[in-house]
Amino acid sequence: MKDERSDRRVFIKTAAGLAAVMIPGRHQRALGLADSGRGVRFSANGSQPKTPRNNLPRIKFAVIGLNHYHIYSQVGAVLRGGGELVSYYAREPELVEVFSKRFAQAKRARDEKEILEDDSIQLVLSAAIPEERAPIGIRAMQHGKDYMADKPGIITLEQLAEVRRVQAQTRRIYSIMYSERLENRATVRAGELVKAGAIGRVVQTVGLGPHRMNAKNRPDWFFDRKRYGGILCDIASHQADQFLFFTDSTRAEVVAAQIGNVHNIEYPEFEDFGDVVLRGDGGTGYIRVDWFTPDGLSTWGDGRLTILGTEGFIEIRKNVDIAGRAGDSHLFLVDQKETRYIDCSDQTLPYGEQIVADVVNRTETAMSQEHCFLATELVLKAQKEAQRLKFKM
């Protein structure tokens, strides 16, 4: 069916083992789903995912805020890693209805306070409206809990400064799930290949993040820059994370950035195009993001990552191979000997188990705290400094 082809992003594979749920059209607008408007199926594969080893949960976690469907991938990752979802809270009854059916084992909290004051809960997840994510994370850390936000996890430099202050004070984990790296099998495999020296030293990353707009199915906050942060703050945070990771940069700066609303003038606070040039102490990066995926493509966006090395390059087609290969997570490797396609379908996704281990052991195996903040800082600076495009209409 076209619906199942056209929006692979909503097939939350990382929540494998949960009962499939069809989200009715009346819920799609509230969730901000990038679908064709006829319903989105969250896929399932088998039984409820079990926690590692002896099947006993390693941590208990909760959710505050369900406004983006990425929350299902976030929850799936922590369940895979050994977490037990015990409670959740959201203001919107239509979002609660869907979530409660999918995660019937969890209790609906009366309010946010009930979760924050529950001493048994060690980790809080959130995919609230973007402007609310940092404040929720601050309150969670102040209550002694670690925190995982959907991206963008922080939407202003002022929020970032306060999050950094509270994180340093509390020593809690503030993680942002940059899912285009952490939840994409080909990108995880690319990390292993780069670490093994398959393409020599990385010189540059080129990250492309096109998206399908589906304006009629978007909530009001989606079009309000004060609430979502702008296109670079939002989408480009994925690519900034990948740039830092693959170039192994620990310091970086914005060389140039530009943004524009070049085709959707009926939404004056919206931005539909942006690009950024980055320079780090380990390499350079180029990012392009947009909301122009045409309806003729079989998925929400042809997301790509090219990693240029001194001895070869890797190209990842994250969501689709327009040459005809089925599925997603496509990886192509070219080195001094050959050109080859690598099937990544059996690649494990370690982020969930790593973040749970970090909560238990007070380590930084999933992502260093400074990396998390630096990826966000780069796109916030790019968003603030970007030149605005104006084309002839």
- CATH number of the domain at 2-177, out of 3.50.50.60, 3.40.50.2000, 1.10.10.410, 3.40.50.720? 3.40.50.720
Reported as a single tens digit per residue, the pLDDT across 295-343 is 999 999 999 999 999 999 999 999 999 988 999 999 999 999 999 999 9
Asked if omega into 152 is within 30° of 0 (cis), the reply is yes
The predicted pLDDT at position 17 comes to: 35
The mean pLDDT value for 97-123 works out to 97
pTM as predicted: 0.86
Q: Is 53's pLDDT higher than 60? A: no
Between CA 365 and CA 81 the distance in angstroms is 13
Between CA 44 and CA 42 the distance in angstroms is 7
Q: Is 164's pLDDT higher than 50? A: yes
Reported as a single tens digit per residue, the pLDDT across 274-293 is 999 999 999 999 999 999 99
The predicted pLDDT at position 56 comes to: 63
The predicted pLDDT at position 250 comes to: 98
| Topology annotation, domain 181-350+380-387 | Dihydrodipicolinate Reductase; domain 2 (3.30.360)
Beta-carbon contacts of 4 under 8 Å, excluding residues fewer than 6 positions away, are 11, 41
Reported as a single tens digit per residue, the pLDDT across 229-271 is 999 999 999 999 999 999 999 999 999 999 999 999 999 999 9
Reported as a single tens digit per residue, the pLDDT across 352-385 is 999 999 999 999 999 999 999 999 999 999 999 9
Between CA 338 and CA 333 the distance in angstroms is 8
21 band by pLDDT with thresholds 50, 70 and 90? very low
Query: Where along the chain do its domains lie?
Result: 2-177, 181-350+380-387
